[in-house]
Amino acid sequence: MPRLRFFALAVLAGLAACARVEVLENTPSSVSIRYGGAMTEDDALAEANRLCAAHGKIAQLRSEDEKGLLEHYANFNCVSR
Reply yes or no on whether the pLDDT at 2 is more than 70.
Answer: no
Given this model, what pLDDT does residue 6 score? 54
CA 3/CA 77 separation, integer angstroms:
47
Q: Domain spans of the chain?
A: 2-80
Assessment of whether the complete model's pTM goes beyond 0.85: no
Give start and end residues of each alpha helix (H) in 1-81. Answer: 2-18, 41-53
- Find the range with the poorest average confidence among 5-9, 13-17, 58-62: 13-17
Sign for the pseudo-dihedral over CA of 45, 23, 50, 76: negative
Reply yes or no on whether the pLDDT at 45 is more than 90.
Answer: yes
Given this model, what pLDDT does residue 37 score? 86
CA 54/CA 58 separation, integer angstroms:
9
CA 69/CA 30 separation, integer angstroms:
25
CB 28 within 8 A of CB 78: yes
Percent of the chain with pLDDT over 70: 77
